[in-house]
A and B are shown apart, each in its own frame.
Chain A
Amino acid sequence: MSVLVYVEQAEGKFKKSVFEAVSYAKAIADQSSTNLTAISIGDVAESELNELGKYGASKVLTVNVEQLKTFVNQAYASIIAAAAEKESADVVVLSNSFSGKGLAPRIAVKLKAGLADGAVELPSTDGKFSIKKTAFSGKAFAITELTSANKVIALNPNAFGVKENNTDVAIENFTADIKQSDLGTVIKEIVRATDKVSLPDAELVVSAGRGLKGPENWGMIEELANLLGAATACSKPVSDADWRPHSEHVGQTGISISPNLYIAIGISGAIQHLAGVSSSKVIVVINKDAEAPFFKVADYGIVGDAFEIVPKLIEALKAHKA
């Protein structure tokens, strides 16, 4: 019995969410006094693989073949499952990232495993393998018991944090057969906005709603976000009106996020919006309507006009940083 963590790379690098998944998997390995192995697929430098030791991985399996340089859901799932079998891992951990969401269910079926996606805590240690996960778009949590022998867990970003745990790490090449039928999808293009913080795993988020009146007024939102190193988000009517891209829409029918800080500007706080953001650690609301429902769930608030307040915050932030 052991624990396997899949470490997703983007252009040869690991992101913070990967180190978080490794930290979390290490804590599970410690719970059952076993070792943690990581599996990396794609072209990642040895120095980068060594980084995984800092967070508790004692072995890293690496698969670096031409066909799998970029993400192929089906083939990656086969390899991760094969690695789990080779390592006799009964727990497989992944980040609940966009790719993780496509992989975890396939791995679960291959291993006949129960899957806890959107996990926010470590499994219980009372004999039953139960995990707290988000449900009802953040309006509740479901304590889910995985009753199968094998288990798969997809960890929500920012739920556990990165914890250092220096361990000697051994790097091993891993070879697994790649079935032709696993290569059914072909990537044509990857477009990344490299200068922007990605919303799902952002620690700080600045979000704005219909109160901003039009897309031409987003300059100050972006400036505030840039100064903070935050990602930008929006409410549904804003993306419906094409003021902002759909990928920024948060809420029940958009993305669910749980950053450390969520700043909501000119957003009413409708139940469907709150559903996707209420698990943020600190919520700041700026709204000219003192009765806006968002104030009921906020930690800090300013009742006032966004067009006056946001520029002042930008100035204050510049002064704070100076």
Chain B
Amino acid sequence: MKILVCISNVPDTTTKITFTNDNTEFNTAGVQYIVNPYDEIALSKAIELSEGGKGTVTVINVGEASNDPTIRKALAIGADDAVRVNAAPRDAYFVAKQIAEYAKDKDFEIILTGRESIDYNGNQVAAMIGEFLDIPSISIIKKLEINGDAATIEREIEGGKEVLTVNGQFVASCAEGVAEPKIPNMRGIMSARSKPLVVIDAVEIEAVSKVSKYETPAPRGNVKLVQADQSEQLISLLHSEAKVI
């Protein structure tokens, strides 16, 4: 079984988000980059499925050479090899197109992504790859089991879950619960250095969107404290002042 896992390079979860150049650019100064946490879940699931010689896991990233440490981290976690499409990612449409172009003649049986990247929160790449390749896409999955040719998948829906099956090739975006994120061990870190990382060129595609500016949320006013022995006062404040109950 050949599995492709899409890896995004994102600011560490503790990063304070700031912008430069009149709020038109993300301020990368001092920012630590990591494998997108949901992609780690997808990667861990792929490794589980391929363990014991049952398959191979390739990771793919669309990005510039500065992303290589993140890709090496994915190799250290246990991917077999890696591909980097050498281009600055413009938007999800661009990224998905690059990945679909790479994957179209490589017969991967499963393509996995994280449910979203924690920078642009897109939820877009998996379903766009599905459309570019004309294969089923299942978004925000919570469980994945493979039996022979068929996969059984649990997907989150409002207030519940949906269980579905799919035969043949598919792409899915993984949420919490699909697998426990794996932590690289010493052997993984050592072997990651010698695993293949192939760099390929991007294909041209017309741009469909661009971020023109960023904003940060308005700061909140000071907290209004209610004494613990008068906590019932909170209910009346929420009713008459905040008007939310």
Contacts and interface: CB of A to CB of B under 8 A. Distances in A.
B228 A147 contact: no
Size class of the B contact interface (CB-based, 8 Å): 35 or more
A198 B159 contact: yes
A189 B162 contact: yes
A105 B129 CA distance: 9
Nearest to B215: A141
Nearest to B127: A105
A124 B90 CA distance: 21
A112 interface: yes
Interface string A146-170: 1110000000000000000000000
Interface in B185-229: 206-217, 220-221, 223-228
A96 to B, nearest CB: 8
Contact of A191 (B161, B212, B245): B161
Contacts of A186: 164-166
B217 A279 contact: yes
Contact of B232 (A108, A130, A184, A316): A316
B160 A190 contact: yes
Contacts of A190: 157, 160-163
A130 B170 CA distance: 33
Given A77-B131, A102-B139, A295-B223, A140 B235 contact: no
A300 B242 contact: yes
A1 interface: no
A77 to B, nearest CB: 7
A12 B146 CA distance: 32
Dominant SS among interface residues on chain B: mixed
Interface string A94-135: 000111011111101110111111100000000010101011
Contact of A246 (B142, B170, B236): B142
**Which of A106, A132, A304, A317 has the most chain B CB atoms inside 10 A of its CB?**
A106
Contacts of B156: 98, 247
Given A115-B209, A299-B221, 20 more contacts: A97-B158, A98-B140, A114-B93, A117-B122, A118-B121, A146-B208, A147-B207, A147-B210, A184-B166, A190-B157, A246-B142, A256-B121, A261-B245, A271-B14, A297-B220, A299-B223, A300-B226, A302-B231, A320-B235, A320-B236
Interface of A: 10, 15, 71, 73-74, 77, 97-99, 101-106, 108-110, 112-118, 128, 130, 132, 134-148, 181, 184-194, 196-201, 204, 228, 239, 246-247, 249, 252-254, 256, 260-261, 271-272, 275, 278-279, 281-285, 295-305, 308-309, 312-313, 315-317, 319-320
